[in-house]
Amino acid sequence: MEKQVSLPRGTKDILPDEVQLWQRIEATAAVIFGRCHCSEIRTPIFEATELYARGIGEATDIVSKEMYTFIDRGERSVTLRPEGTAGVVRAFIQNKMFALPGPQKLWYSGPMFRYERPQAGRQRQFNQIGMEIFGTSSPKADAEAILVSLDIFEALGVQGLEVQINSLGCPDCRGNYRKALVAFFENKKEEYCSDCQSRVELNPLRVLDCKVPACKALNQDAPSIQETLCEGCREHQKELLAFLDSVGTSYRLNPKLVRGLDYYTRTVFEVVSGSLGSQNTLCGGGRYDNLVEECGGPPTPAVGWSFGVERLVMILGGKGNVLPLDLFVASLGEAAERKAFELAHGLRKSGLSVETDFSGGKLDKQIKQAIRLNAKFLLILGEDELARGECLLKNLSERSQGAVPLEGAVEAIAGLVK
RNA sequence: GUGGGUGUAGCCAAGUGGUUAAGGCACCGGAUUGUGGUUCCGGUAUGCGAGGGUUCAAAUCCCUUCAUCCACCCCA
């Protein structure tokens, strides 16, 4: 055998037995998006590098060390999209969707790329399904967005999820909190882990969700962002929670919830699962009221989220069902095989799923193959049947069998099988 | 980018310097010339992720490399 080429690091083939589940996820999401009048948008898989550098933030891990960036033949720097929001925002602005009446609700689905070390629940190419609502700062939109994600998970039968919510404030009040937090850290800097010490410089909020027990203990006494929110942000969150309460959705207010993208304002949230291992976030999102303007559009508040399809597949247990098969067509002898081929073709056109024998082997082998494929019915056409002008139709589960005249066989069999 | 684990057939694996690399599942053939998943018999690795080295002798020891898994950073 020739030397094999294997797939690139951090990528995965999605094989037929799992594709069934993917199709179910995609179809379910599409239905639920449709119910809240949310339209699909499809944007390119690569964009100008500058879009991500400006939109996501130069200092974030995604931009500083995880992007698949290359120079194309026209000497442009382009990047495989590491997340979906920036591209959708770009499309929203470029196509002047801000001029359309009312808030715009958009959803997307597709692969994202981040150059990271693979581990459980993390790949270099992975798929996200996400939604964005542009043009309203109402906390009702935050609540609706969260509920849409939960509706999708519920419709798929996902159990054991927890919604965590926090507010990161707005440019007015976030600065105050940041100052208070840095002051708190400076006092006990030596007691924190080395990661946290560098986090204080880069993104102090990150210290809050450090996993090291010593840091966690120290953080008990850290000031809470919830206490330094300005009046507007406090009110926004209160209304969001009231909307969630009104439909009986449970959530946990987590003042230490921080997210890795720079563009979030006010609401941030995550949907976490206990059955994902260390990467336990299934869905993450929040409000980003300044991003559209920062990307060159008119001031437009927005809120959105995305979930990882691979992580959802993990929770749902991976394997779906095998492809059902209505009928297996067995044949013996050359003339019979041709007639059987013709019947199979006709039955497929009439809507049945049909598989035929390719081996030309003995009848018992063909029957075993039909059973292995989990066929409901078996059609047998040998030289004897052909001579009599009929074929045999066998119900494999009931082990019953009857003759069907070849004349009009397609209609007769389609009626019996369906 | 950092740390640890693992690579033997399609899958699960035994083997820790010495005949011909166990076993199970799956697959293929036969017993059984045209009717069922059982049973029985037989077959399937010039090869142990790849490359180099040590040795009379290497899946086994050493070096390099690749892949994979788990964790950190961070995130879906």
Question: What's residue A378's pLDDT?
Answer: 95
Question: What's residue A210's pLDDT?
Answer: 85
Q: How far is the CA of A121 from the C1' of B70 (A)?
A: 11
Question: What's residue A193's pLDDT?
Answer: 84
Q: Which positions in strand B are less than 7 Å from the protein's CB atoms? A: 1-3, 27, 29-30, 32-37, 66-76
How far, in Å, CA of A391 to CA of A346, rounded? 15
Question: What's residue A219's pLDDT?
Answer: 87
Tokens 């206990």 sit on residue = A274
Cα→Cα distances A337→A316, A343, A362, Å: 42, 10, 13
> For A16-170+230-316, which CATH superfamily applies?
Bira Bifunctional Protein; Domain 2 (3.30.930.10)
Could you tell me how many residues make up chain A? 418
Query: Do A16-170+230-316 and A325-417 show the same overall fold?
Result: no
> What is the average per-residue pLDDT within A44-66?
90
pLDDT at A271 over 80: yes
Sequence letter at residue A6: S
Q: Delimit the domains of chain A by residue range.
A: 16-170+230-316, 325-417
pLDDT, tens digit, 9 for 90 and up, residues A337-367: 999 999 999 999 999 999 999 888 889 999 9
Question: What's residue A321's pLDDT?
Answer: 64
* C1'-nearest nucleotide to the CA of A400: B35
pLDDT at A239 over 60: yes
Q: Pick the residue with more confidence: A314 or A324?
A: A314
Task: Count other C-beta atoms under 10 Å from residue A211's C-beta.
Answer: 9
> What is the average per-residue pLDDT within A21-49?
96
Nearest in space to A83 (alpha carbons), one of A101, A61, A99, A98: A61
How far, in Å, CA of A209 to CA of A202, rounded? 14
**CATH architecture under which domain A325-417 falls:** 3-Layer(aba) Sandwich (3.40)
Question: What's residue A274's pLDDT?
Answer: 85
Q: How far is the CA of A355 from the C1' of B9 (A)?
A: 29
> What is the average per-residue pLDDT within A13-34?
92
For B70, nearest residue by CA–C1' is A119
Q: How far is the CA of A3 from the C1' of B14 (A)?
A: 28
Q: What mean pLDDT is reported for chain A?
A: 92
Question: What's residue A320's pLDDT?
Answer: 62
Sequence letter at residue A190: E
pTM above 0.80, yes or no: yes
Q: Which residue pairs, CB below 8 angstroms and at least 24 apart, start in A27-31?
A: A28/A152, A28/A155, A28/A156, A29/A107, A29/A109, A29/A129, A29/A152, A31/A155
pLDDT at A18 over 90: no
Q: Retrieve residue A90's tokens.
A: 């770009």
* C1'-nearest nucleotide to the CA of A281: B76
pLDDT at A105 over 90: yes
pLDDT at A185 over 70: yes
Query: Which band of pLDDT confidence, cut at 50, 70 and 90, is reported for residue A289?
Result: very high
Q: How far is the CA of A1 from the C1' of B45 (A)?
A: 14
Question: What's residue A344's pLDDT?
Answer: 96
> What is the average per-residue pLDDT within A382-386?
93
